[in-house]
Structure 1
Amino acid sequence: MPNILLTRIDNRLVHGQVGVTWVNHLGANLIVVANDEVAEDEVQQDLMEMVLPEAIGVRFFSIQTTADIIHDAAEDQYIFLVVKTPQDVLRLVQGGVPIDRVNIGNMHYSEGKTQIYSTVSVDDTDKEAFRKLKEHGVKLEVRRVPDERPDDIYKFL
């Protein structure tokens, strides 16, 4: 069983808050970015690696590759799994990745989305993904930083 400490939805993926604050809080030594586009984009990967301390490893995999190899993680890898969307989390769960808790940190507002929390905007496809994750028994919390009180996403939907 892989040591997945936390899965976070953050459409910015890896940035200072994720790479320092959350990593330190969790005690993670590896960030796995599961995103189809970033897995193929070395420029984005390089930019994300720049914000990480040297002691923290980072891997960039597609959603499918993550599902295929996460069970091969070493016992001493303490994984912080970062994705862009609730649909990505749902695909991982459906692919057999053992995710029981998801932190929703940042989902930017865009056309067609409704802001439900200061840092979270959703559309109908996001809501549907959240409902399906709940059916899979995944706990969903909104929390930007570790010292903030988590809120249950369902009270906002």
Structure 2
Amino acid sequence: MPNILLTRIDNRLIHGQVGVTWVNHLGANLILVANDEVASDEVQQSLMEMVLPDAIGTRFFTIEKTIKVINKAAPRQLIFLVCKTPQDVLRLIEGGVPIKEINIGNMHFKTGKQQISSTVSLDDDDKKTLRKLHDMGIKLEIRRVPDEKIEVDILKYI
């Protein structure tokens, strides 16, 4: 069983809050970004790695590769799993990745999305996917940083 400390949805993937604040709070030593696009984009990977302390390892895997290798993680790997969308997380869970809780940190607003907090906006597909995750028994929370109080009850929006 992999040591997944937290799974976070953040369309920015790795940035200051993820790379410093959350990593320190969790005690993670590995950030695994599971996203098909970023897995093949070395420029984006390099930019994301720039914000991390040297002691933190990174992996950039496709959703499929994550499903195939996550259960081979060494016990010493304390994994912070970061995905871009709820749909990516659902695919991971349906593929057998043992995720019990999801932190939703940032989902940008764009036309067709309903803003439900200062950093989270959802379209109909996001709502449907989050409802499915909730119905599977996955705990959902919206929180930008660890010491922030959870203020939004996501269930009333999905």
Partner of residue 117, structure 1 = 117
Partner of residue 156, structure 2 = 155
1:86 and 1:129 in contact (8 A); partners too: yes
Amino acid at match of 1:154: L
Question: How far did residue 155 of structure 1 move?
Answer: 3.0
1:2 and 1:72 in contact (8 A); partners too: yes
1:117 and 1:156 in contact (8 A); partners too: no
Partner of residue 141, structure 2 = 141
The two structures have a TM-score, normalised by structure 1, of 0.98
- In structure 1, how many angstroms separate the alpha carbons of the residues matched to 2:28 and 2:149? 20
How many equivalent residue pairs? 157
Partner of residue 87, structure 1 = 87
1:115 and 1:122 in contact (8 A); partners too: yes
Question: How far did residue 156 of structure 1 move?
Answer: 3.6
Partner of residue 64, structure 1 = 64
Amino acid at match of 2:155: Y
The two structures have a TM-score, normalised by structure 2, of 0.97
The secondary structure found in structure 2 opposite 1:117 is: coil
The secondary structure found in structure 1 opposite 2:144 is: coil
Partner of residue 47, structure 2 = 47
The secondary structure found in structure 1 opposite 2:116 is: strand
- In structure 1, how many angstroms separate the alpha carbons of the residues matched to 2:147 and 2:89? 24
- In structure 2, how many angstroms separate the alpha carbons of the residues matched to 1:111 and 1:72? 40
2:8 and 2:81 in contact (8 A); partners too: yes
- In structure 1, how many angstroms separate the alpha carbons of the residues matched to 2:31 and 2:50? 13
1:49 and 1:58 in contact (8 A); partners too: yes
Deviations along 1:11-35, one digit per CA (max 9) or x if unpaired, are 0000011000000000000000000
Partner of residue 105, structure 2 = 105
Please list every run of 5 or more consecutive structure 1 residues that lacks an aligned counterpart in the other structure.
none
What percentage of residue pairs aligned between the two structures are identical? 72
Question: How far did residue 152 of structure 1 move?
Answer: 3.7
Is residue 8 of structure 1 aligned with residue 8 of structure 2? yes
- In structure 1, how many angstroms separate the alpha carbons of the residues matched to 2:82 and 2:153? 19
- In structure 1, how many angstroms separate the alpha carbons of the residues matched to 2:88 and 2:153? 19
Please list every run of 5 or more consecutive structure 2 residues that lacks an aligned counterpart in the other structure.
none
Question: How far did residue 129 of structure 1 move?
Answer: 0.5
- In structure 2, how many angstroms separate the alpha carbons of the residues matched to 1:115 and 1:153? 11
